[in-house]
Every structure is written in C-alpha cells, then in structure tokens.
Amino acid sequence: MSPTSTPAWQDLRRHAARLAEVHLSALFARDPARAQRFAAEACGLYLDYSKQRIDAGALGTLLHLAEQQDLAGWRRRLFAGEPVNHTEQRAALHMALRAPRGVSFVANGCEVSAAVHAVRDRMYAFAAAVRSGERRGARGARFEAVVNIGIGGSDFGPRMVCAALAPQIDGPRPWFVANVDGAELHDTLARLRPETTLFIVTSKTFSTQETLANAQRAREWLVAALGEAAVSKHFVAVSTHAARVAAFGIDPAHMFEFWDWVGGRYSVWSAVGLSIVLALGPERFDALLAGAHALDRHFVEAPAERNLPVLMGLLGIWNTHFLGCASQVVVPYAQRLELFCGWLQQLELESNGKGVNRAGLPVDHATTPVLWGSVGTNAQHAYFQMLHQGPAVHAVDFILPVEAGHPYPEMQRMLVANCLAQSAALMRGKTATEVRAELAAQGLAGEALDAAVPHRVFPGNRPSNTLLLPRLDAYHLGALLALYEHRTFVQSVIWDINPFDQWGVELGKQLAQQILDPARIEMMDASTKTLYQRIGAMNH
C-alpha cells in the first residue's frame, strides 16, 4: 500500500504543519531532556537525533507509519529468506553471511548456513596459506600484492573496508581496479611485479564488461611476464557462476562461491570480502561480521522506538516527505572513511532509486533522496556554505569515531570540535540580533552595519543526526555498515518498493553494447551518433 494512503501519513502532515513554525532551538529550550530523549544506542554505536526537527508526537506517528506499512512483517519475511526480491524471485539474505556457526538461515526454502561456512573455511585456509607464504607465485615468490578486479558491489565494499582499517593491514597489500578506463589498471600494474601479485576476479555474474576487460588485460600482463602456466597460481575468482569462470580460464577449483540471494551491494560479507581477509586476516574479518551480526540482532529484537535502523529510516522519511529534504548528506569525520559515501551511494540509491511500487504501479511520492557527502573537515571547506545558508533541502548524517586512530590527540580534539560545531551551527543558526551585536562590538555602525547583517545571518533549523562510534575498528565498522543496510530496507518498506533489484542499470549497458557494434550504431539517436563521429574525428 502506498504510504500516502495510510492514516499515519495524514497525521504526519498535521505534525509537519504544526512544527513548521517551531525552530529547533525552541524545541531544545522547551525540553531540557531533549538530548537524552532523542538518542538511542546499540552495538557501541550512539545516535543523537535530537537535532532532527521532530517532537514526541511526530516520532510516535512515524512509528505508527512503520506499523501501518507492516515493517515487522517485512523484516520477518526478510530474515526468513522469503523471496522479498520478487522481481527476481530471490531472497535477500546477507544476514546469513555474518551469523555465527550454529545459527541457521533458510533462503527460498533451502538451508544455506552450512554452505556459507564451508566457503568461509576455504577462504580462511586460502588466506592463511597466502599470508604465511606457504602458497606462493609461479616463480616461488611470496605474494606481496593482491589486486581485486571487480566493480559496483564487487568493489565498493572491500575497497572501503580496506581503506577504513588500513593501519591494521598485516598481509599482502590490497589494490582495487574497477573502472573500464584502463588508466586505473595501468597505473596499478605499473606499481606491481607479476611474480608477487595475486589477482582476484570478483563478479557475481561474471559477465560484467568492465571486470572482464580488466581481468583479460591483467591476465595478458601476467602471461607476458611469467607464461600461461602461471595463471592458475596467480588468479582466483569470486562468483556465483562457475561455468563463466571456467570459460574465462580460471579453474573453478580456484573459485570462491556465493549465491544469488546475496545482492551485489550487500555482498562484502561473502567471498567478495576475500581481499579483506587476505589483507587483514580472518580474525578481523570475523570481527567485521560479528559487528554486523550484532546489529542484525538489534534490528530484529529492539523495540522500534529504540531501534537504530528503524529510527534512522523513519527520520529519513520524515525529512524527505515532510520537511522537503530531497538531499541526504553523509559526512564521516574520519579520513579513513573517505570511501564510505561511495559504498553508501550504491547501497541506498541502487536499492531505493525506484519509480514503481512492489505491484509495478508508479509511486505517488518521492523515493530515495539524493545521497552524497565526503569526509569532514574537508567538506566544511567545500559545500558547507550551502548547507548553512543555501536552500533548506539537506539533512545531514555526521559520523564520528571517537578514539583517535593516530598518535596526535590534539588533532583529534580539533576534529571532534569541528564535527560538533557544524551540527550545532546547522541547528541553532545565528539571528540578525546576534549578528548586529557582534558587528557593533567590532565597531561597525549605521548603514554599513545594516548592509552587512543579512549576509551573516544563519537561519539554522537544519536537521542532522550524529552517530558516534567508539573507534574505527572492524567490529564497529561492521555494525555501521549493517545499520545503513537495514535503514535502507526500512525505507523501502515504508515506500512499498523492492530494494533488492536494479533494473535501472540495464538500459545503459545494452546501449553501450550497441555503440560498440558498428552494425548497430546507425540505429542510435542523432546526438549520440554525432558525438560518436566527433570522437572518431578527434581520434585522428
């Protein structure tokens, strides 16, 4: 059912009208316990959502909306391995990948946990052999570099996790090649030696153009240096498709399997994480899985009003539909989370960037807001001007690991101060009266003062979450990723859309094939043909 037809939606409109005139600073002034009241925690993660433009009445109605959209039922179906991805008749059971031994999951009626652990055991044995030097390259050299060749879900997750936990890397150095712009492969290979390089070709379908093109070139590079026989020692695959792996020339015995019930953007917990295991070791991968599993349990067990993914999902709905925030900005105050936003963009935008509901009817409401962001404090020197004084269409998530991951405590204090200062500034703003007093104290008066004031006023009243992690370690990173996964799911349920398919990416792929085919380029539109010809001319 469309959320807009629920009684809760109509009630939320009334709450929004009531709160439209109330400034966030007034909400804080009214309720001295606001910061405690609008906070929740789980798995070491602490969420302060008191700087959201809600009160108890609006929040209660958001929780009603979740009931009216049967969130509990959909969550049960998700965890029960029912085909919630109904357009592909698949379960979406990434939670099975991070459950400890002994916890059983069933996908579409089949028990999957035994297979999950069998593949993980193989991954760990392989990683142990590579990390110890027992398994070596064709010339007998230890592997010093591991190149993951994959794109989308077969790249973002492991690349981001390896960057986030980079100081703890104690195995071969991980590299990542995704783009069909050969510059990425070229620049990577230029820094590597074939004798000491292991390639992981990671592709759920093993049919992705970019990945196969990169893998083919990497294979040629290796064969040119070490001969054809070296391929079996230097190439492994991660895929659901053994036949295509074999056709590419990788022995399926060197393939680490995953399954159609693992969506690409939810796959970092599967064999897609092999590069993480090689770089960081099985214990840290276990910790990543444990953090995500703890968050899974929290999502299933915690009451809605204290449930982090439920709260974050509903606050997103509130901001998108009732406060006009068509933009969700995510700003981690952690340099090592530089790639987090890229991972999250695939997760949320590929999942919830949909235009029809589960029944295939056009939705009568917005779906996912534009999601973007980058690390603080750098972001403050780029687009925060707009967040403070531009159109009020942005909701911000601040993410802050509290413990410094470096030996410079003074710098960590500055980082923390900046993070807190930005959410406070967005919340309270600065009134004309405050600006006048400040300028007058600086000696400005008369017309000059009047002219200066409007430029320095901050409206404030701009919503944000602040999410604290004790530190950026594997466990809390796992919990953070699972939190956003489930937030995405919660929002899909409210919107009554399928978050687990991605048909919207297909047309461009088909047309790229058409453009590559001289016999079919003629059938393209005039603009595309002209550009193609122009490019041809510029190439000569």
Ligand X SMILES: O=P(O)(O)OC[C@H]1O[C@H](O)[C@H](O)[C@@H](O)[C@@H]1O
**In the complex, which residues of this chain contact ligand X (CB under 6 A)?**
150-154, 203-205, 208, 211, 264-265, 350, 502, 505
Q: Which residues pair with 239 in a beta bridge?
A: 257
Residue (of 130, 141, 247) closest to 200 by Cα position: 130
Catalytic residue among 350, 354, 388, 486: 350
The separation between the first and the last C-alpha atoms of the chain, rounded to the nearest angstrom, is: 57
Residue 378 corresponds to which tokens in the numbers above?
A: 């750098």
With beta carbons less than 8 A apart as the criterion, state whether 187 and 159 touch: no
**Which residue lies nearer to ligand X by CB, 3 or 152?**
152
In 3-state terms the chain splits into helix, strand, coil percentages (rounded to 5) of 55, 10, 30
| Alpha helices (H) along 24-110 | 24-30, 34-37, 56-68, 71-79
Least distance in angstroms from the C-beta of 274 to ligand X? 13
DSSP strand pairing (327-332 vs 235-239): unpaired
Is 468 in contact with 332 (CB distance < 8 Å)? no
The total of other beta-carbon atoms located within 10 Å of residue 188's CB is 18
Give the count of beta carbons closer than 10 Å to the beta carbon of residue 72: 14
CB of 388 to ligand X, least distance (A): 35
Catalytic residue among 86, 186, 406, 509: 509
Strand 464-469 to 394-401 pairing? parallel
We find the least distance from the C-beta atom of residue 234 to ligand X, in angstroms, to be 20
Nearer of residues 154 and 380 to ligand X, judged by Cβ: 154
Nearest distance from C-beta of residue 164 to ligand X, angstroms = 19
Three-state SS string over 475-530 comes to: HHHHHHHHHHHHHHHHHHHHHCCCCCCCHHHHHHHHHHHHHHCCCCHHHCCHHHHH
* Strand pairing class (327-332; 370-372): parallel
Q: How far is the CB of 150 from ligand X (least distance, A)?
A: 6
Give me the catalytic one of 21, 301, 381, 506.
381
Q: What are phi and psi of 167, to 5 degrees?
A: -65, -20
Measured from the CB atom, the residue of 61 and 211 that comes closer to ligand X is: 211
In the complex with ligand X, the residue whose CB is nearer, 69 or 154, is 154
Q: Let me know: does 74 contact 309? Beta carbons within 8 Å.
A: no
Radius of gyration of the chain from Cα atoms? 25
- Give whichever of 265 and 428 is closer to ligand X, judged by the CB atom: 265
* Nearest CA-CA partner of 324 in 3, 6, 96, 17: 17
Q: Which is nearer to ligand X, 9 or 343 (CB)?
A: 343
Active site residue 381: yes
d(CA 101, CA 116): 9
Residue 237 Cβ vs ligand X, minimum distance, rounded to whole Å: 11
Q: How far is the CB of 152 from ligand X (least distance, A)?
A: 3
**Closest distance to ligand X from the beta carbon of 230 (Å):** 24
- By beta-carbon proximity to ligand X, the closer residue of 386 and 505 is 505
| Residue with the two structure tokens 């068509």 | 326
Q: Has 509 been annotated as catalytic?
A: yes
* Whole-number Å distance between alpha carbons of 327 and 202: 32
Shorter beta-carbon distance to ligand X: residue 65 or 277: 277
Catalytic positions: 350, 381, 509
